[in-house]
Each structure stands twice: as structure tokens, then as C-alpha cells.
Structure 1
Amino acid sequence: MALSYKARKRWSLVILLVGLPVYIVACVTVINWLDRPSVLIELLVYVGLGVLWAFPFKFVFMGVGQEDPDADR
């Protein structure tokens, strides 16, 4: 089932304002469990986890910054 433009816009705000901070805390927790590895490993983990969070939500963010295609002109 496809989401409407307004629903995608609302979900993208929820993901960015609630989900992303929770994900950041989870990533920092993972790094703390690793007991402060070397800077290179830490950087690779942060970059990997930073890219990983966006893939499941790719369909939500597509086209959100553009005009509403369903709006009357």
C-alpha cells in the first residue's frame, strides 16, 4: 500500500524527530560496549550505522521535499 504525500511527510518528520535521536543513542551505546576501540574502527562503525538507518526508510523520504503532486494548481 502506497503512502500519500501528506502521510510520507508526517512519517518523515516522526522518523527524523523521534526515531533518529533514539537510533543515535543506540549507536553510541554499541560503541561503548566495544570499550572505546581505535579511532578508525569507531569511525567505520559510525559511518556504517549512519548509512544503515536510512535504507529501511528510503521510500518514506522520496519526494518529500518537492511539491505535493496531488495538490490542485
Structure 2
Amino acid sequence: MNLKSRKRLSLLVLLVLMPLYVVVAVTLMNWLDARFGRQHILVEVAIYVVLGILWALPFKKVFLGVGKEE
């Protein structure tokens, strides 16, 4: 994949897919809260950290080298 298409794909990921992922993550946390009750703050932070890392793993190759000049 050339640099120009990676830049376009990275914009698509950041502007469309990332907000959708945030909505899914918050919905998941609300569901967990309704189902099991409020968790300890450290458990919630750990879940948010894991969810924050998981979104980037499939797109690692897309973001590599995007800041380089052509």
C-alpha cells in the first residue's frame, strides 16, 4: 500500500471508525455497569486502558510511516 492511500485510510479510521469504537466502548461499560453494578475505579480504568489499546492493534500497519514525506 502506498503512502497516499495509507494517509487516506488513516483519516478514515480516525474520523469515522474511531468515534464508532468509542461509542461501542462506552456502551459496553454502561452495559457492564447495569449488569454487574459499579466496578471499582481501578477495574474501570484497566478496562478503558485495554479498550484504548485494542483499537490500534489492527491498524498498526496503516499508521506506520504516515508522517513521512512522499
Q: Could you tell me the TM-score, scaled by structure 2's length?
A: 0.90
| Identity between Structure 1 and Structure 2 (%) | 56
Return the alpha-carbon distance in structure 2 between the equivalents of residues 11 and 37 of structure 1.
36
Return the alpha-carbon distance in structure 2 between the equivalents of residues 58 and 13 of structure 1.
13
Match of 1:53 in 2: 55
- Number of equivalent positions: 66
Question: Unaligned regions of 5+ residues in structure 2, if any?
Answer: none
- Letter of the 2:49 counterpart: V
Q: Deviations over 1:13-58 (max 9, x none)?
A: 0000000000001000110011132211110010001001101000
Q: Which has the larger radius of gyration?
A: 1
Return the alpha-carbon distance in structure 1 between the equivalents of residues 10 and 18 of structure 2.
10
Aligned counterpart in structure 1 of residue 69 of structure 2, from 49, 67, 70? 67
The structure richer in helix per residue is 2
Match of 1:16 in 2: 14
RMSD: 0.7
Match of 1:39 in 2: 41
Q: Could you tell me the TM-score, scaled by structure 1's length?
A: 0.86
Return the alpha-carbon distance in structure 1 between the equivalents of residues 13 and 60 of structure 2.
11
